[in-house]
Structure 1
């Protein structure tokens, strides 16, 4: 693996590799806004070594996320903002799904499922008793409250938590569970590095409340874990100065990057999978008017 960027032009820099290591290459205060949605805990297998989300326990996941975001905080300008979308998980017997993107890349048969034994051997199956936080298992069937635990940990790391925005999904796939309500919302946390930071509330044109009614993403290209474009558009509009630099340390297929470029900002994206960078490059060339930086 080389330290050279995977791709660089006047508007976009794409870095390939582990996001923690790549973040360490960014100068202090070099980005103005961070918008990201990291892999959720034990939800998908993206098929790459070192991937995030398949840590041995939820505590390891939380610790690893905090380490990444501490390094991101160093790279953020003093007046910058950080917008974090992350979902929760239940403590239960579960086999994680393979990413549909990986199936498309590598020719796996859609609909084919591993046995529990196969998933277990590959590290893609977990018992509720293994969902350890603080050395103790989370009670079976309980929500693990991972977004909230992560946000509190980030406060301990020095972040200022300014908002907990509710993303109320106007359309999403119904759940088959019968003994609780379907989950139709996720949090978006707005963090600041310093008490005074760039924020243009008026630019949101009337959408200034902390409940955002947005559809669940239908997936960009074949990356089914992306959020809808409108979400980073709102974050960047309010939280990034004109002509600034937007960072997504879990870039994926480039939804944050498209939003940044549409709004005339520059973009830095980091991902562990070069196939996602190829999706992002094609997306930018096809869909995004590359505005010159102010």
Structure 2
């Protein structure tokens, strides 16, 4: 197998996903069980788990080389404590659990590489600090049944497919756990661009793609409630009411800050078209969000790429966007070919890549889907690694990326260069 062919990681078989019943579990920290424990931990280990900066931990506890279990309990008692990817009751369990060190047989590529596997496992295959840009559109909570869904055992103890958690808090925790792992593979001046849409806490059938949902809205779905493979209920949450917005994107951004990342921008992606919504009590949604995260205050950032790159790869959308690069991006939606339920347009990852990388830098999409981010990376002359649990989407992405006939920054910026881009038309 050549270095730029898809690497196949052994996986469990796809699973039948259960209904989602967002009942908040009743749980609390069992303090007496920890009082006699003698383990110690570094501040760097503890800080992202208690949602505090190392400097604040020093303010609370004073200067010390290692923190005891009692020190961690003191931090968990602070008003400043805030959950990141573990609930309060699980922090010490996580700190005292032995974890295998990742193998040093890292994967890289001179062009593009696709890895079939769960993202929590596949990220261990990448060398620390090797990725300049992460750009992805993640699964959304409780909205889709994705092909070849696999169970993941998460740090908070839940075992489920990503996007099919029983509560929005579970989805937020798992998103932040992935971001925590991405910190290690990201270059010091790199960027993460995290595309996410919010979900309403409503009682609904969970469908495979937007086309199925549209047919249902048009009265063309003959399935009854019980006929659907999975359903989402709305009762039992500790505070969310039926029909209420879950506020997921903002909570992911807040927790990303608490694990040590910089939240540079919360960008609104204003879609030029969006799905109709059969409701009469609120405005319809026409936007999603892109969270821009970095490891440092001053990451690599090429602002002029907005004016220089062609619109198909994320340059200024003339007629919709001004000459000023702002935090509202007016970009078209994807046509959703190949049966993928949540594609984003090539222009969106193209813009993120162009703004935060240089030619030959390495771009990563941990949820590559049908490969639009890889298409943009190749057309811009960047190296690319994509991860997905679905062998079908790995094949679709490979075909799409390989079909870009010319790779290079010049082709992306020279209007006289003719280049066909799959799923977007010509450049």
Range of TM-score over shorter length: 0.7 to 0.9
In the alignment, which residue of structure 2 is the partner of 1:117? 226
Contact kept? 1:100, 1:222, Cα under 8 Å:
no
Contact kept? 1:101, 1:223, Cα under 8 Å:
no
**Secondary structure of the equivalent of 2:125?**
coil
Identify the match of residue 167 of structure 1 among 269, 281, 288: 269
Q: Cα distance 1:156–1:114, how it changes in 2: closer, same or farther (>3 A)?
A: farther
Unaligned 5+ segments in structure 1 are 103-110
Contact kept? 1:41, 1:53, Cα under 8 Å:
yes
Q: Cα distance 1:115–1:68, how it changes in 2: closer, same or farther (>3 A)?
A: same
In the alignment, which residue of structure 1 is the partner of 2:113? 13
Unaligned 5+ segments in structure 2 are 1-5, 10-107, 152-160, 213-219, 308-322, 410-427
2: CA distance, partners of 1:286 / 1:152:
39
Q: Cα distance 1:158–1:113, how it changes in 2: closer, same or farther (>3 A)?
A: farther
Identify the match of residue 223 of structure 1 among 334, 340, 346: 340
* Structure with greater proportional strand content: 1
Identify the match of residue 196 of structure 2 among 62, 80, 86: 86
RMSD of equivalent CA atoms: 2.3
Please show how residues 172-183 of structure 1 align to structure 2 within 5 Å: 172-183=274-285
Q: Is residue 354 of structure 2 the alignment partner of residue 252 of structure 1?
A: no
In the alignment, which residue of structure 2 is the partner of 1:199? 301
Contact kept? 2:209, 2:339, Cα under 8 Å:
no
1: CA distance, partners of 2:201 / 2:135:
28
Normalised by the size of structure 2, how large is the TM-score?
Answer: 0.61
Contact kept? 1:92, 1:127, Cα under 8 Å:
yes
Q: Cα distance 1:235–1:209, how it changes in 2: closer, same or farther (>3 A)?
A: same
**Which ranges of 4 or more aligned residues in structure 1 deviate by more than 3 Å?**
6-10, 99-102, 111-115
Identify the match of residue 235 of structure 2 among 124, 129, 141: 129
Deviations 1:17-48 (A, max 9, x none): 10011012211101000001100001110142
In the alignment, which residue of structure 2 is the partner of 1:95? 205
In the alignment, which residue of structure 1 is the partner of 2:242? 140
2: CA distance, partners of 1:174 / 1:222:
19
Contact kept? 2:270, 2:330, Cα under 8 Å:
yes
1: CA distance, partners of 2:286 / 2:260:
30
Q: Cα distance 1:200–1:96, how it changes in 2: closer, same or farther (>3 A)?
A: same
2: CA distance, partners of 1:45 / 1:285:
27
Q: CA deviation at 1:118?
A: 4.4
Normalised by the size of structure 1, how large is the TM-score?
Answer: 0.87
Contact kept? 1:128, 1:137, Cα under 8 Å:
no
Deviations 1:51-89 (A, max 9, x none): 321112111111111111110111000000011110001
In the alignment, which residue of structure 1 is the partner of 2:141? 41
Q: Is residue 147 of structure 2 the alignment partner of residue 30 of structure 1?
A: no
Q: Which has the higher contact order (CA 8 A, sep 6+)?
A: 1
Q: CA deviation at 1:215?
A: 1.5
Identify the match of residue 391 of structure 2 among 258, 274, 280: 274
What is the number of residues matched between the two proteins? 275
Q: CA deviation at 1:140?
A: 1.3
Contact kept? 1:220, 1:255, Cα under 8 Å:
no
Q: Cα distance 1:224–1:45, how it changes in 2: closer, same or farther (>3 A)?
A: closer
